[in-house]
Structure 1
Amino acid sequence: MRNGISHTSDIRAAGFTVHDVAGAVAAGTLQRVRRSWIAVPECDARRIAAATVGGRVTCVSAAALRGFWLPASAVHDKTHVSVPGTASRIDAAMVRVHWGTGPAPTGRSEHEDPILNVLFHVAHCLPERDALAVWESAVRQKAVPADVLGLVAWRSSRAAALAAVVSTLSDSGLETRFVDGLRRAGISVRQQVWIDGHPVDGLIGRSLVTQIDGFAHHSRAADRRRDLEADARLVMRGYVVLRFDYHQVLFQWDRVLETIRTAIAQGCGRRLVRPTR
Structure 2
Amino acid sequence: MRLHDWLEANGRIRHVEEAVAAGFTRYAVRGAIARKEVGRIRRSWLALPGAPFDLRRAAQVSGRLGCLSAARHHGLWTLDDGRRHLCVPRNASRFDPRDDVVHWGHGPIRPHRFELVDPVVNALIDIADCQPLDSALATWESALRTGAVSVGLLRQLPMRSSAAQRIRRGASQLSDSGIESIPYARLCRSGLAVEQQVRLDGHPVDLLVEGCVVVQVDGYEFHRSKGQRQRDIAQDRRLVLMGFVVFRYDYETVLYDWETIEREVRTAVAVAAVR
TM-score, normalised with respect to structure 1: 0.90
Match of 2:268 among 258, 263, 266: 263
Q: Secondary structure at the match of 2:272?
A: coil
Q: Percent identity, aligned pairs only?
A: 42
Q: Deviations over 1:157-204 (max 9, x none)?
A: 111111111110111111111000011101111100112221100112
Give the whole-Å Cα distance in 2 for the aligned partners of 1:116 and 1:217: 27
Q: Unaligned stretches of 5+ in structure 1?
A: 272-277
Pick the aligned partner of 1:21 from 18, 24, 29.
Answer: 29
Per-residue deviation, residues 132-175 of structure 1 (Å, max 9, x unmatched): 11111111111111231122101211111111111101111111
Q: In structure 2, give the amino acid aligned to 1:17.
A: T
The amino acid across from 2:215 in the alignment is T
Matched, 1:221 2:222: no
1:23, distance to aligned residue in structure 2 (A): 2.4
CA distance in 2, matches of 1:252, 1:94: 28
Dislocated runs of 4+, deviation >6 Å: none
Does 2:152 correspond to 1:144? no
Structure 2: give runs of 5+ residues left out of the alignment.
1-6
Structure 1 segment 1-277 matched on structure 2, within 5 A? 2-72=10-80, 74=81, 76-77=82-83, 79-93=84-98, 95-267=100-272
How far apart, in 2, do the equivalents of 1:221 and 1:192 lie?
A: 23
Separation in 1, partners of 2:15, 2:184: 43
CA distance in 2, matches of 1:144, 1:3: 24
Aligned counterparts of 2:129 and 2:242: Cα–Cα separation in 1: 45
TM-score if structure 2 supplies the norm length?
A: 0.90
Shift of residue 40, structure 1, vs aligned partner: 2.7
Paired residue secondary structure (1:200): strand
Q: CA deviation at 1:219?
A: 4.7
Distance 1:18 1:60 in 2: 35
Cα deviation, residue 256, structure 1: 0.9
Aligned CA RMSD, in angstroms, stands at 1.9
